[in-house]
């Protein structure tokens, strides 16, 4: 079968499609014919050897897939051959076929096409887990979302708006801010033009943001602590800036804030029932028209490097999808 293979640490432009051995469904596993695969910033970090989980070389990248079940392993009861599904694959989605444990496979509604399905398994449950399960987002809360036009940020804006929060979005440039507005953001801040911290305080009558969703890290995290509310919750999702911040403990004490780390893959291992509930909630929100992944571009598998290069430049709006 055709697949993108990483056999050494490399740049996105070095990615190539190769012929590899067919994969099969082992016990408890489901084999999918991949119709679409989602691209994520974590895929880029894996190429560089900079992600917290470092797969052994060689490996096939790709953590989100949507397609049809073509084989089920022993003991599989969750799905049947022929079902349309989406899956959190962990690895292997940048290929014509991928095997995934049945616990990470979910039925794809008839109203959802494969590209949209491939855009869901990471960024939307990540955002839902961070905002709802960890931060306890409530209607009327002021929610500050950084990098609000990227994959995970845009999902957070949509979910926050759907759950009744007042969303404050930061992004770079008018085009990205317009995307955030269409997703439900009420207050837009171009971080290239102004310091977001005093603006957040001004827009909240000095209170600050009740929940801050931070996938950027670095100085963005440090400045976020200047505009967090009393008993605010800072959700640390990632470090797209490339800089891991150090938070002084006294700053946590000053306003009785909570700093919450979010590792979505660990949810699958530690709390599978919570994960099932999160996906059920997301499917309900999608069926109600309250969330809808934004697909910026669909690439053939051979353009995996092009798609990930766009993520590296932070030039994306929404999701990039590969189609084998």
User: Can you tell me the distance from the alpha carbon of 152 to that of 146, in angstroms, rounded to the nearest whole number?
Assistant: 10
User: Taking residues 283-310, what's their average pLDDT?
Assistant: 94
- Structure tokens belonging to residue 259: 């700093």
318 pLDDT more than 90: no
Q: Which pLDDT tens digit goes with each residue over 134-153?
A: 999 999 999 999 999 988 89
- Residue 19 buriedness (CB in 10 A; 0-12 / 13-18 / 19+): exposed
SS3 105: strand
Cα gap 124→37, rounded to integer Å: 15
Provide the pLDDT for residue 108. Answer: 93
First to last CA, the chain: 10
Residue 52's pLDDT is what? 80
Pairwise CA distance, residues 204 & 181, whole Å? 18
The string of pLDDT tens digits covering residues 79-95 is: 999 999 999 998 999 99
Mutual angle of helices 151-162 and 174-183, in 10-degree steps: 40
Tell me what pLDDT residue 280 has: 94
Task: Give the per-residue pLDDT at 286.
Answer: 94
What is the per-residue pLDDT across 149-193, written as a single tens digit (0 to 9) for each? 988 899 999 999 999 999 999 999 999 999 999 999 999 999 999
| Whether the predicted pLDDT of 37 surpasses 80 | yes
CB 152 within 8 A of CB 174: no
293, 319 Cβ separation under 8 angstroms: yes
Residue 50 has pLDDT above 90, yes or no: no
- At 98-121, the pLDDT tens digits run 999 999 999 999 889 999 999 999
Structure tokens at 223: 């400045």
> Can you tell me the mean pLDDT for 9-31?
94
Q: Mean pLDDT across the stretch 62-76?
A: 97
The dihedral through the CA atoms of 94, 98, 99, 100 has a sign that is positive
- pLDDT for 315: 65
Percent of all residues in the chain with a pLDDT value above 70, rounded to a whole number: 100
**Mean pLDDT over all residues of the chain?**
94
Domains of the chain: 2-120+293-323 (3.90.180.10), 123-265 (3.40.50.720)
Confidence of residue 238 (pLDDT cuts 50, 70, 90): confident
């Amino acid at each position: 079968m055709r697949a993108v293979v990483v056999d050494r640490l490399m740049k996105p432009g070095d990615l190539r499609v190769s012929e590899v051995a067919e994969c099969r469904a082992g016990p408890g596993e489901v084999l999918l014919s991949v119709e679409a695969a989602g691209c994520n910033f974590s895929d880029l970090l894996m190429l560089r050897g900079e992600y917290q989980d470092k797969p052994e070389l060689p490996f096939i990248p790709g953590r989100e897939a949507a397609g049809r079940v073509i084989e089920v392993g022993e003991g599989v009861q969750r799905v049947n051959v022929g079902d349309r599904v989406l899956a959190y694959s962990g690895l292997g989605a940048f290929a014509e076929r991928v095997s995934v444990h049945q616990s990470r496979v979910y039925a794809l509604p008839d109203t959802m096409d494969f590209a949209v399905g491939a855009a869901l398994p990471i960024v939307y449950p990540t955002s839902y887990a961070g905002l709802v399960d960890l931060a306890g987002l409530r209607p009327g809360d002021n929610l500050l979302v950084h990098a609000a036009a990227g994959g995970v940020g845009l999902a957070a804006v949509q979910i926050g708006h759907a759950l009744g929060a007042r969303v404050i979005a930061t992004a770079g440039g008018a085009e990205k801010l317009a995307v955030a507005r269409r997703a439900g953001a009420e207050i837009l801040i171009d971080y290239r033009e102004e310091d977001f911290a005093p603006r957040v305080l001004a827009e909240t009558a000095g209170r600050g943001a009740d929940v801050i969703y931070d996938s950027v890290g670095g100085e963005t995290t440090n400045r976020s602590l200047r505009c967090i509310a009393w008993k605010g919750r800072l959700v640390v999702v990632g470090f797209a800036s490339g800089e891991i911040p150090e938070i002084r403990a006294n700053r946590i004490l000053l306003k009785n804030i909570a700093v919450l780390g979010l590792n979505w893959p660990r949810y699958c291992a530690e709390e599978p029932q919570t994960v099932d509930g999160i996906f059920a909630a997301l499917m309900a929100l999608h069926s109600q028209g309250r969330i809808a992944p934004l697909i910026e571009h669909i690439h053939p598998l051979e353009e995996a490097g092009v798609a990930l290069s766009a993520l590296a430049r932070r030039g994306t709006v929404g999701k990039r999808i590969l189609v084998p």
